[in-house]
Amino acid sequence: MVISFIFGLSIGGIIIYYLNFWVFRLTHEFALTMVFRYYLYSILFTWFFLTVTPEDLAQALVQLGIPYRWAWQLSATYQFVYHLQREVKQIYEAQIARGIPLDGNLFQKLKYLPSIIVPLTIKTQQSQELLFQALLLRAWNPYSPKSFLYPLTFSKVDYVVWVVLPTILLMLQLIS
pLDDT higher than 80, residue 85: yes
- Cα(45)–Cα(95) distance, integer angstroms: 31
135 vs 18: which has the higher pLDDT: 135
Tell me the pTM.
0.64
Start-to-end CA span in the chain (Å): 32
**pLDDT at 176 (0 to 100):** 63
d(CA 176, CA 173): 5
Torsion angles phi and psi, residue 67, rounded to 5: -55, 145
Alpha-carbon distance 57 to 68, whole Å?
11
Range of weakest confidence among 4-13, 17-26, 57-66, 110-119: 4-13
Q: Which of 34-43, 58-67, 78-87, 130-139 has the lowest mean pLDDT?
A: 34-43
pLDDT at residue 87 greater than cutoff 80: yes
